[in-house]
Structures are given as C-alpha cells and as structure tokens.
C-alpha cells in the first residue's frame, strides 16, 4: 500500500476528490502530525474510510532513541517490513530567554535523515556498510522521518529545520525518491522546508551530480571527499574506482550554486591517514576555482574499527593552513559522542542485542 507521505500536493489532488480535501489532509499530516485519519476532524467519514483503505499513514515506529548531553537525539525507526533505519536530530543552537522571560533567540535544529536501508557504497570507515545494502527508502519513508521527529519533540509547525541527507545510504543512489522527497518537503502547504535548507551529501556519483544540477532545485550540495588522491580515497570509498576524484571535481564545477552559497566538501580526518599538511596543500590545489567550503570532521570511533580519531592539534593545524590559503574551512565539533553517534552504530547495537 502506498503511503500518504509519498505524494506531492498536486498528485494527492488527483487521488482525492474533491481536490480541496487534499490541502486539508496535507494540513493534518504536516502541521498537526496526526497518526490516524480519525484525528482529521474536518474530513468526512466516507473519505476517511477511503484513505484508510488506500494510503498508509503511520509507517515508522520508534523502537529506540538515545539522547546526548549536547541535546542531540538519535532515533532507530522500524519500517513496515521490519527493517530499521537511523535518523538524528541535532540541536545546533539553544533557545535564549531574556531576563524578563521573552525569547530572544529560538533554538535551531538540523536533522540528518536516511535514504536507504543499508548502503551500496561500502565506505571502510562507516558502520552502515557492515550490514550491506537492503533496499531504497520510498519518498514517504524519507519524509516521515521529519514528521516523526517534529511530533516526538513537539516542534511547532512554523519552526523550520535544516535537512541533511547524510544518514544511512547514498542519496543519489535513490535518485527518484530523493527528488520526490525534496519537493514534498519544500511545499508551503506542508512542512515548508525550503530547498536552500536541504543539503544532499554524496560520496560522489559524478553522473548523478550532473543530473541533479540540471534539475536546478536550489538544493545545497556536499561532497564526501575524505582524501586528496585516488589511492587513499579508493581505500576509504571503494566506489572511487568508478567515480574518481577528477570526475567529481568536474561535475561540481558545473553544478549551479547560489551566489550566496558554496559547495561543501566534507573531509573526514583520520589519524595518520589524511591529517598531514601535504594533504592540506593538495586539497587547496584541488579546489582551486570552486566556490568551496571545507568541513573537517573528526573520525567518530566505533567498536571494531582500526581507524583512529585525530588529535585536536592536527585538526587545527590543517584548518589554519587551508584558511591561510584563502579557503573557507570549519571544524565540525562532534555531536553525540556519549551515545551511538557513528552512522549505523545504533542499528548495529540493537541488532546485536546490546543495550
């Protein structure tokens, strides 16, 4: 059965008659976060029965969540077929209340969502790869992750979020459902999350990067680069054999970027692998001519990995070199180190029966 979350508003208008009911349904599922059609007070009984028969609504079940001292929450969702995926709510900025009790600044959230059950890419540093690839998520399963998080945390309908497609799976490997989800998210009658607030993080399927650029959705792009030569990148990301660094850089150079934005290059820093200044020098040359921002990411250790977390000293030295050469560079401070923060870690822990 199709999920109600699978449809853009105009598509739902074709399925539900009279068409104005589609907008009412959108309001209930994306503004009120209802879990059943019975909660839709202004929808007639016969239409509720039709919806129940044709469109599933409650398609994700929270089976575990872990909350970090920094406010991050990692969720493990069970899908209707019994498979599980992870989603992370990141508290990027706390609410600030003045002495007289007024809100001076609201909290700011980013949600890291999954696009697949498992992953085909097989990155050697990623725990998700251990479970292999199972299937793509439907557009509705991608969308429902945001609905569940907003409902569970009582996040107001008018409170926007930033979305990063950076959870389990390679987003561009599930291209059609990804594009559908982006359009559903951005609809003003629904969750109203503008495309400029949505970032696709890809391991670098260069042909799909070009296709995404041709869509011209206004989406933000992040490249999981992690290395400055093909030998190391192939070790870290075996898919590099098919889509090497040169092909990725070429695709990025042709990607439409808003004048106020930059393409993010994610660089996972691993001790004694890619944290030296020679790598930093090569990275500067590689990104020459691109409106680029580099985000240095500490490797987040998990049980069984041979890779190690870099020192703070090496991270800062790497960053300072890039900045000295005119390249914008930030260090992503790790979130959720006291919980199962590494991608795939909560899923793996639950599968092994650990608490």
Binding residues for [4Fe-4S] cluster: 119, 123, 126
Q: Count CB-CB contacts under 10 A for residue 262.
A: 15
Q: Are strands 96-97 and 103-105 parallel, antiparallel or unpaired?
A: antiparallel
- ω into residue 18 within 30 of 0, thus cis? yes
Binding site: what residues are annotated? 119, 123, 126, 169-170, 201, 224-226, 300
> CB–CB of 28/4 below 8 Å?
no
Whole-Å CA distances, 106 to 8, 152, 334: 29, 18, 22
Cβ–Cβ under 8 Å, residues 138 and 177:
yes
**Sequence-separated (6 or more) residues with CB below 8 Å from residue 26:** 9, 12, 187, 189, 190
- C-alpha of 319 from chain center: 24
Cβ contact 223:202 at 8 Å: yes
DSSP 8-state symbol, 229: S
Query: 147 is written with which tokens?
Result: 């609905």
Active-site residues, by number, are 86, 343
Maximum C-alpha span of the chain: 68
């Amino acid at each position: 059965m199709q999920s109600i979350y699978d449809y853009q508003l105009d598509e739902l208008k074709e399925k539900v008659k009279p068409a104005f009911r589609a907008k009412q349904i959108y309001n209930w599922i994306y503004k009120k976060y209802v879990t059943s059609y019975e909660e839709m007070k202004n929808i007639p009984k016969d239409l509720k029965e039709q919806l129940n028969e044709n469109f599933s609504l409650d398609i994700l079940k929270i089976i575990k969540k872990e909350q970090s001292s920094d406010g991050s929450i990692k969720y493990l969702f069970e899908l209707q077929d019994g498979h599980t995926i992870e989603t992370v709510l990141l508290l990027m900025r706390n609410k600030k209340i003045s002495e007289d009790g007024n809100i001076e600044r609201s909290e700011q959230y980013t949600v890291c969502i999954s696009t697949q059950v498992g992953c085909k890419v097989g990155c050697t540093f990623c725990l998700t790869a251990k479970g292999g690839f199972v299937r793509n998520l439907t557009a509705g399963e991608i969308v429902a992750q945001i609905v569940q998080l907003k409902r569970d945390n009582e996040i107001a309908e008018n409170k926007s979020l930033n979305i990063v497609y950076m959870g389990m799976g390679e987003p561009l490997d599930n291209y059609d459902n990804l594009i559908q989800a982006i359009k559903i998210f951005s609809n003003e009658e629904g969750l109203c999350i503008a495309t400029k607030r949505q970032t696709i993080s890809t391991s670098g399927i260069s042909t799909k990067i070009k296709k995404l650029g041709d869509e011209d959705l206004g989406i933000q792009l992040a490249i999981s680069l992690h290395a400055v030569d093909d030998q190391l990148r192939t070790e870290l990301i075996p898919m590099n054999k098919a889509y090497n660094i040169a092909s990725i850089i070429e695709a990025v150079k042709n990607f439409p970027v808003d004048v106020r934005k930059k393409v993010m290059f994610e660089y996972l820093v691993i001790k004694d692998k890619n944290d030296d200044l020679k790598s930093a020098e090569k990275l500067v040359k590689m990104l020459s001519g691109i409106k680029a921002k580099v985000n240095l990411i500490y490797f987040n250790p998990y049980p069984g990995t041979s890779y190690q977390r870099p020192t703070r000293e090496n991270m800062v030295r790497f960053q300072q070199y890039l900045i000295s050469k005119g390249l914008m560079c930030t260090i992503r401070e790790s979130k959720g180190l006291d919980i199962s923060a590494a991608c795939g870690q909560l899923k793996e822990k639950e599968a092994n029966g650990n608490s």
